Amino acid sequence: MTPSGSIQDGDVVESVAESFAAELAAESLPTRTLLSASRDGLEARFVVQRLTSGDASTILFIARDQPRLIQLEKLAHFFAPQVQVLNLPAWDCVPYDRISPNGEVMAARLRTLAALLHPADQAPKLILTTANAVLQRLPPAEAVAAGHFTARTGTRVDREDLIRHLERNGYRRAGTVVETGEYAVRGGLLDVFPTGAKAPVRLDFFGSTIESIRRFDPLTQRSAGKEQQLELGAVSEVVLDDAAIERFRTRYLQTFGAVGSSDPLLESVQSGRPFPGMEHWLPLFHDSLATLFDYLPADCELAFDHLAREGVLARATLIGEHYEARRTPEPTGSTFGTVPYRALPPDALYIDEQSFERAARERRSFQFSIFNAPPAIPKGYDEVIDLHGRPARDFATERATRDTNLFDAIVRHLRELLGRKAKPLIAVASNGAAERLQQVLEDHGAEGLSRAETFAEARRLPGVVIVVLPLDHGVIADDGLHILSEQDLLGDRIARAARKSRRADKFIADLTQLAEGDLVVHAEHGIGRFDGLVTLEIGGAPHDVLKLIYAGNDKLFVPVENLEILSRYGSGEEGGALDKLGGVGWQQRKAKAKERIRELAGELIKVAAERAMRKGQPIDLAHGIYDEFAARFPFEETEDQLRAIESVLGDMASGHPMDRLVCGDVGFGKTEVAIRAAFVVAMSGRQVAMLAPTTLLARQHFNVFSQRFAGMPIRVAQLSRFVTAKEMDKTKKAMIAGEVDIVVGTHALLSKGVAFKDLGLVIIDEEQHFGVAAKEKLKQLRAEVHVLTMTATPIPRTLHMALGGMKDLSIIATPPVDRLAVRSFVTPTDPVVLRDAILREYHRGGQCFYVCPRVADQTKLRQDLEALVPEIKIAVANGQMAPAVLEAVMNDFYDGKVDLLLATNIVESGLDIPRANTLIVHRADLFGLSQLYQLRGRVGRSKVRGYAYFTVPSERTLADTAEKRLQIIQSLDGLGAGFHLASHDLDIRGAGNLLGDEQSGQIKEVGFELYNQMLEEAVTELRRAAKDAEQSASSATDWTPQITVDAAALMPESYIGDLDLRLSMYRRLASLQEADELDAFAAELVDRFGKMPIETRQLIEIVGIKQLCRRANVAKLDAGPKGIVATFHENRFPRPDRLVGWIANSKGQMRVRPDHRLVMMRETQSPPERLKAARFLASELAKLAT
């Protein structure tokens, strides 16, 4: 059956689905229909057309996998935004796993089930699920309904009942709400981040009435707008209320009989605590479970994706295999342990494929197929409809042909389509890509290009329309619709979900918060250990102070308003011996460090001045050619990446030699910055040298550069051990003749026999790994050519600021969109989970890293792995191997000759192996936080999702610190994770790499934060005239004003209950320098925690007085009942003439004592009055001083 239709000039005829709908309605659609010649895009268009035309009210579409489900959701929104799309994903863990499904996944499933139970309106519904999800049994309808909660402003809600509801339904209590599924309680406020919401909300209670519901920013914690209604869905499919716990206990014992002395699952659930993986025993928590078909309306139709039925069969087989594996005990003596797992039979939690097919047969169904229509109706179907989908043109030939302009060819093809009265759409991955492609096509003569967000809008617009649509390949439909994908035009693209840009600096704010036991540096007394926040009575009023322990168990108490005199020593314990209170050792070390820092500052200023004096040949390029090249980049650039590219191109066009360092975490896009710079230089007729520290990295860069410059008039060559002597000699001659544009190699590029015709740019990857001689040669090069250096060591932004612009530094702190979406699991060592993880990677054509902490473990581990997964080829790598042998092993892994690399943490940094996307860390509790993070950076670097399994011994309890590290690494999946760790774990290493190893010693002496402050002051000091330098010799880090007013000054526990959060707020408060910052902070306190108590208002007032005292050089202000005494720092006042005149005019109210202290005579009766008087004096002195 083929639809007929004619194409009118300038019009787009009715869609093919509309034609089908008319025919099918007339002929009474049979139950089972095969839809042949379907292609991506046509399936979504067909099903939404059935819904919008009224032929169906609800359709369940079973996708083959989760990425396909996400694609279908976006396609449905494009073709028919009025259709309600519900999403029921599968659990993101294997059957019979020890890990719980992700909370977001369970929440999405429960939201969909709740929407099916209580539809908001009669809008047509498209339910998307996967082959994996459709076999799994679900919580019963009454349990789903009980987990749903709705409230409006002004309604009465018992707050304690609401908190209990949150706890029961899987929400986690936190000090500060940042992630979905968290809630926090403080005073009359309750913060909660509902599942599926774009932002968390803050409920303000007055008694039992919800007075207001406000959205707030999880980064700043500030309110961002009002809401009228709150909707809360459950986070977990297991609800731990009393009835469910009792049901579980009874049935667990009935099913498995009396258990031994220790059953962690039973013990945990009985005490009401969630247990990892407890959802796999879901049937024991309920009287009975439902299936997805139980939730569907009676008239719901089914649509099967291509290969979805095969996916259902494969899933059913996998469930059976995993159940059998759980019933088979692990051999004694295996590395992987013998942890008992009491598995429920498959039919308790899953339906089998026969039950599924029986349920499916009762409903009208459609099966999509990519194959052409068969000559006869196949068995099992009642009818065949041919969708006539055809692939759109792929420009692979033009991309590979050196002398063909790709974009001219694309524009010609678009004109041909318009001439044939077709309707061309170009599907791109993002708005940024749409903007860029439109610009390039218009530069090549394309006219009338427009943009649209929906299919209806695109049909109305004339000419070629660019749309954001997740299609890997284009499609041609019979009605003239012609979709070309970005991949068809430009080659492989990495299509990724857009993610809202978030300010990286906001992640810095709370990262330096103190924890008990941390080493801190007091500017006057040196290194001590933070021992907690305590409340002391000072002058009869309560005051929060930080307790520090020094050598000999000496104690020092620091008022919270003076917190800025403290700095974190750094995260490493190395070099952190405690100082003696009153001892001279600290002052001597500090003076020595200060002297060295002044030398460094002088050197930096000298280098900067010399660079500013030198002239270089400006390198620039016409925008059209550059835009074409940029459009071929298969990723969406991040804001940081674009800024780095602009800075590099600006440097090269400035007329001065560039010397810029680009710093970014593993896989954050530094290489693309280098490639853009190389392109501009090569296209300007000059040559580029790219240096890497190892032959393997040189080869990696050569491959990347060769791919990016394919089809361009740019020749890329390689100089390393991977090329023969004959090829190397030929390349060297070509470099001298100017026939090679870009050469990639190791430090051999710097040897005497290597010369260039016209070298314009040197790119250096990880300069700190080169030897002294190579660094000296590079130092000379910097005077002559543009130099771009890249490092993967995260350098904290505080250090960048301390350098005051001395070094040209670009920090790429934002990962590429979805870059950090590596699914991380912390799990007991379990052979079933490990075998599944390794084979899943193997069967999708990938490779695995298996990392263990000790070389001694590798022999036994290899034997156990070969027994566990005999199907794969395993190689071993460690730092004790001969360099040539190690390089051969790594090359085999890079070339895909090895399936699993069993290595120590030598694979922690450097290599980019796109096919290696599963990481397993053995005994993860023995690794440091930064090591775990760097290891995880090895995977998830290409189109496919990465998986990281951090395994821990099941038979022993982890140390608190190890457990905390693993919790952090599991939670750091989001944006800014690299910065988190740069601040916590990489301080000393990052600074050493930027400033030189000799400076790392000084950092260890005084601590990282204080070092930054001292460096900043030294740079500023040396820039001033000599007399100004002398005046500023008294460093701002050496003192802080001390205010004594006998007033209670603290943030009470009743106001901010979470200790870490309270400390964080104290730290921020102490760092404020300006009055407007203080006002904003006070407003934030009210917004986040409610009305300030009197003690907190007085604390804010004292900090305000401190700010004024700092400006007036007042070191101490003592306010008593009879008056106020001000002590000047080093007995100096900036404007003594003004001060003398002011005292003379004070009518005896002011006087100066022989010890140079200023006394203001004023009687006060209460702390608020004393504060008012102190502010008056500090304010007047600050005015006189400026």
Q: For position 449, which CATH number holds?
A: 3.40.50.11140
In a domain, 1124, yes or no: no
Same-domain pairing of 53 and 176: no
User: Given a cut of 70, is residue 1011 above it in pLDDT?
Assistant: no
Averaged over 9-30, what is the pLDDT? 40
Reported as a pLDDT band with limits 50, 70 and 90, residue 336 is: low
Reported as a pLDDT band with limits 50, 70 and 90, residue 1038 is: low
Reported as a pLDDT band with limits 50, 70 and 90, residue 508 is: very low
Same-domain pairing of 619 and 753: yes
Do residues 1068 and 1137 make contact, with C-beta atoms less than 8 angstroms apart?
no
Q: Closest by alpha carbon to 519, among 588, 583, 566, 585? A: 566
Q: Closest by alpha carbon to 230, among 244, 209, 213? A: 213
User: Given a cut of 70, is residue 982 above it in pLDDT?
Assistant: no
pLDDT tens per residue across span 228-286: 888 888 888 998 888 999 999 999 999 988 776 678 888 889 888 888 889 999 999 99
| pLDDT > 70: percent of the chain | 82
In a domain, 1079, yes or no: no
Most confident of 620-634, 732-746, 995-1009: 732-746
DSSP readout, 292-356? HHHHS-TT-EEEE-TTHHHHHHHHHHHHHHHHHHHHSPPPTT-TT------PPPHHHHB--HHHH
Quick count: other Cβ atoms within 10 Å of Cβ 882? 8
Q: What are the phi and psi torsion angles at 654 (to 5°)? A: -80, -20
549: amino acid identity, one letter: I
295: amino acid identity, one letter: Y
Give per-residue burial for 1149-1176: e unless 16+ CB within 10 Å, then b: ebeeeeeeebbbebebeebebbbebbbe
Domain boundary among 331, 352, 386: 386
Locate all alpha helices (DSSP H) within 420-528, ordered by sequence: 431-443, 455-460, 486-490, 505-509
Reported as a pLDDT band with limits 50, 70 and 90, residue 179 is: confident
Quick count: other Cβ atoms within 10 Å of Cβ 542? 14
Reported as a pLDDT band with limits 50, 70 and 90, residue 200 is: very high
**Residue, of 802 and 315, whose pLDDT is higher:** 315
When the pLDDT of each residue in the chain is averaged and rounded to a whole number, the result is 81
Domain boundary among 331, 366, 386: 386
Reported as a pLDDT band with limits 50, 70 and 90, residue 797 is: very low
End-to-end CA distance of the chain: 89
Cα separation, 1184 vs 1186, whole angstroms: 6
Same-domain pairing of 689 and 829: no
pLDDT tens per residue across span 597-607: 777 777 766 76
Structural domain total, the chain: 5
* Range of weakest confidence among 674-678, 886-890, 991-995: 991-995
| pLDDT > 90: percent of the chain | 32
pTM: 0.69
Q: What are the phi and psi torsion angles at 371 (to 5°)? A: -85, 160
User: Given a cut of 90, is residue 290 above it in pLDDT?
Assistant: yes
Quick count: other Cβ atoms within 10 Å of Cβ 822? 21
In a domain, 743, yes or no: yes
pLDDT of residue 931: 72
Pairing between strand 465-468 and 450-452?
A: parallel
Quick count: other Cβ atoms within 10 Å of Cβ 441? 23
Cα separation, 51 vs 58, whole angstroms: 7
pLDDT of residue 632: 81
In a domain, 836, yes or no: yes
In a domain, 250, yes or no: no
pLDDT of residue 139: 96
Report the greatest alpha carbon distance in the chain.
Answer: 112
Same-domain pairing of 93 and 156: no
Same-domain pairing of 847 and 893: yes
Q: For position 923, which CATH number holds?
A: 3.40.50.300
pLDDT of residue 768: 66
DSSP readout, 52-70? HTTS-SEEEEEESSHHHHH
Going by C-beta distance under 8 Å and a sequence separation of 6 or more, which residues neighbour residue 491? 396, 399, 632, 634
Cα separation, 765 vs 771, whole angstroms: 13
Cα separation, 989 vs 981, whole angstroms: 12
Beta bridge partners of 824: 948
pLDDT tens per residue across span 622-631: 777 888 888 8
Same-domain pairing of 633 and 751: yes
Same-domain pairing of 324 and 202: no
**Residue, of 909 and 711, whose pLDDT is higher:** 711
Reported as a pLDDT band with limits 50, 70 and 90, residue 28 is: very low
Cα separation, 266 vs 715, whole angstroms: 66
The two three-digit tokens of residue 190, written as one number = 């309750």
pLDDT tens per residue across span 144-167: 988 888 888 988 999 899 999 998
Reported as a pLDDT band with limits 50, 70 and 90, residue 920 is: very high
Do residues 817 and 497 make contact, with C-beta atoms less than 8 angstroms apart?
yes
How would you classify residue 131: left for phi > 0, otherwise alpha for psi between -120 and 50, otherwise beta? alpha
Averaged over 222-233, what is the pLDDT? 86
The residue segments making up the domain with residue 206 are 149-232
pLDDT of residue 1174: 93
In a domain, 783, yes or no: yes
Cα separation, 727 vs 722, whole angstroms: 10
In a domain, 246, yes or no: no
pLDDT of residue 1016: 67
In a domain, 985, yes or no: no
Cα separation, 191 vs 205, whole angstroms: 11
Q: What are the phi and psi torsion angles at 3 (to 5°)? A: -70, 145
Same-domain pairing of 634 and 740: yes
The two three-digit tokens of residue 949, written as one number = 């399994």
Quick count: other Cβ atoms within 10 Å of Cβ 805? 11
Residues 716, 721, 724, 729, CA torsion sign? positive
Reported as a pLDDT band with limits 50, 70 and 90, residue 535 is: confident
Domain boundary among 467, 490, 513: 490
Describe the chain by its helix, strand, coil percentages, rounded to 5: 45, 20, 40
- 1052, with CB counted inside 10 A (0-12, 13-18, 19+), is middle
Quick count: other Cβ atoms within 10 Å of Cβ 196? 15
Pairing between strand 125-130 and 58-63?
A: parallel
pLDDT of residue 1030: 40
pLDDT of residue 279: 94
Indicate the angle between helix axes 308-327 and 831-843, nearest 10 degrees.
150
Q: For position 157, which CATH number holds?
A: 3.30.2060.10
Q: How many residues does the chain have?
A: 1186
pLDDT of residue 346: 95
Going by C-beta distance under 8 Å and a sequence separation of 6 or more, which residues neighbour residue 399? 406, 490, 491, 710, 711
Averaged over 981-1004, what is the pLDDT? 45
User: Taking the CA of residue 871 as centre, how many other CA atoms within 13 Å lie in the half-sphere pointing to its CB?
Assistant: 10
pLDDT of residue 502: 36
Do residues 1109 and 1180 make contact, with C-beta atoms less than 8 angstroms apart?
no
The three-state secondary structure class of 290 is strand
Same-domain pairing of 921 and 830: yes
Q: For position 99, which CATH number holds?
A: 3.40.50.11180
Going by C-beta distance under 8 Å and a sequence separation of 6 or more, which residues neighbour residue 1147? none
User: Given a cut of 60, is residue 498 above it in pLDDT?
Assistant: no
Cα separation, 1151 vs 1158, whole angstroms: 6
pLDDT of residue 1033: 40
User: Given a cut of 90, is residue 909 above it in pLDDT?
Assistant: no
Same-domain pairing of 752 and 715: yes
Do residues 39 and 475 make contact, with C-beta atoms less than 8 angstroms apart?
yes
User: Given a cut of 70, is residue 430 above it in pLDDT?
Assistant: yes
User: Given a cut of 70, is residue 800 above it in pLDDT?
Assistant: no
Beta bridge partners of 35: 368, 385
pLDDT of residue 265: 87
Q: What are the phi and psi torsion angles at 697 (to 5°)? A: -70, -35
Q: Closest by alpha carbon to 481, among 79, 974, 61? A: 79
Most confident of 511-520, 595-604, 805-814: 595-604
pLDDT tens per residue across span 68-120: 999 999 999 999 999 999 999 999 888 998 888 888 899 899 999 999 988 87
pLDDT tens per residue across span 1089-1135: 888 999 999 999 999 999 999 999 999 999 988 899 999 988 889 88
Beta bridge partners of 143: none
Same-domain pairing of 714 and 766: yes
- 172, with CB counted inside 10 A (0-12, 13-18, 19+), is middle
pLDDT of residue 513: 55
The two three-digit tokens of residue 295, written as one number = 């939730």
Same-domain pairing of 322 and 367: yes
